[in-house]
């Protein structure tokens, strides 16, 4: 079944991890996708995997000019957007007392301002009746060690979903939040954990999850597909947690 036949989807951070899995699944379901990220090389690798129904835009979601250029390109290429997945995000874990200004600013600039302007600037291209998926985290409602700033940014994302579901209802645009629990993606390697401790870290986290393991990017892609497609046509403003039960039980 092709749940996204002829749809145009923009997926920020689509060059790796959850965003790449979403891009792949959307293309399998009939969509044409535009993926974004800051590293051209990662985007090229992703395009080689996704195939000809994908194009890439190299840019930073926290930079207004880059976002404007992204939509200029999408406008020229497709003329519209049916689905927007604001997925790009970063995490810089640190104990509360040790958080630096750089760590604070980077997480708020990318995770909050990035999601805000990625979505606001998409509005003129977004088709009435379209779907917006904002990727948050279960950290937005559950305290996790070293995550205080990241959690606050993801709480803002969850809040945006609620407000924008209200703000955009007159256009039939649905806005939902997708909150992953721990998922095995390259982000884990960016958390400052020494290479030799990564396996033990992942094992320890997996043991805390009721389903006994980390999530797979494809499992998040399945949840994003539900929110993006007409399968969720009466769903807006929700927080869909795909977390192996970590935030639920
Ligand atoms: N994996 C998890 O356990 C987990 C759990 C909860 C929530 N999440 C959320 O899920 C989302 C995806 O994470 P992931 O696990 O798939 O991590 P990932 O593999 O590191 O992917 C993040 C993507 O975002 C892009 N990105 C980062 N900053 C950007 C910026 N300023 N502008 C444009 N693109 C940017 C990265 O590409 P470049 O570096 O090339 O820019 C990368 O493609 C994030 O929002 C994350 O917070 C992940």
Using pLDDT thresholds of 50, 70 and 90, give the confidence band for residue 48: very high
Mean pLDDT of the chain: 97
Classify 239 as helix, strand or coil. Answer: strand
Burial of 227 (0-12, 13-18, 19+ CB in 10 A): buried
Cβ proximity of 103 and 94 under 8 Å? yes
Name the strand (E) or helix (H) holding 47. Answer: helix 40-50
With tokens 């930079």, the residue in question is: 63
CA-to-CA distance for 125 and 71, rounded, in angstroms? 8
Residue 220 alpha carbon, nearest atom of ligand 1:
10
Q: At what angle do helices 217-228 and 17-28 cross, to 10 degrees?
A: 50
**What average pLDDT does the segment 19-31 reach?**
98
In CATH, which of 3.20.19.10, 3.20.20.70, 3.40.50.720, 2.60.120.10 is domain 8-242?
A: 3.40.50.720
The CA 82 to ligand 1 mean position distance, Å, reads 22
CA-to-CA distance for 125 and 237, rounded, in angstroms? 21
Which residues have CB under 6 Å of ligand 1? Answer: 12-13, 15-19, 36-39, 42, 60-62, 87-91, 110, 114, 135, 137, 180, 182-183, 185-187, 190
Name the strand (E) or helix (H) holding 129. Answer: strand 126-135
Question: Could you report the per-residue pLDDT of 80-92, keeping only the tens digit for each?
Answer: 999 999 999 999 9
| Nearest CA residue ID for atom 47, ligand 1 | 89
pLDDT (0 to 100) of residue 134: 99
CA-to-CA distance for 169 and 171, rounded, in angstroms? 5
User: How far is CA 114 from each of CA 27, 102, 105, 117, rounded to the nearest angstrom?
Assistant: 24, 16, 12, 6
Question: Could you report the per-residue pLDDT of 158-175, keeping only the tens digit for each?
Answer: 999 999 999 999 999 999
């Amino acid at each position: 079944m092709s749940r996204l036949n002829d749809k145009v989807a923009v997926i920020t951070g689509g060059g790796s991890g959850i965003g790449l899995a979403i891009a792949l699944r959307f293309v399998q379901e009939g969509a044409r996708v535009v993926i974004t990220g800051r590293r051209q090389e990662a985007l090229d690798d992703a395009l080689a995997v996704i195939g000809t129904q994908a194009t890439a835009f190299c840019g930073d979601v926290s930079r207004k000019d880059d976002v404007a250029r992204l939509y200029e390109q999408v406008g020229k290429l497709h003329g519209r957007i049916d689905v927007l997945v604001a997925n790009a995000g970063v995490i810089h874990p640190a104990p509360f007392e040790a958080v630096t200004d750089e760590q604070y600013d980077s997480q708020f600039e990318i995770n909050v301002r990035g999601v805000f302007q990625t979505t606001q600037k998409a509005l003129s291209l977004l088709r009435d009746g379209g779907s917006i998926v904002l990727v948050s985290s279960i950290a937005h409602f559950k305290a996790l060690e070293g995550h205080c700033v990241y959690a606050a940014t993801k709480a803002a994302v969850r809040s945006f979903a609620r407000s924008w579901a209200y703000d955009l209802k007159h256009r039939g645009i649905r806005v939902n939040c997708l909150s992953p629990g721990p998922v095995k993606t390259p982000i884990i390697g960016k958390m400052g954990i020494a290479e030799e401790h990564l396996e033990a870290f992942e094992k320890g986290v997996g043991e805390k999850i009721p389903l006994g393991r980390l999530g797979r990017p494809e499992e998040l892609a399945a949840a994003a597909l539900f929110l993006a497609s007409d399968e969720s046509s009466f769903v807006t403003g929700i927080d869909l947690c795909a977390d192996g039960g970590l935030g639920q039980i």
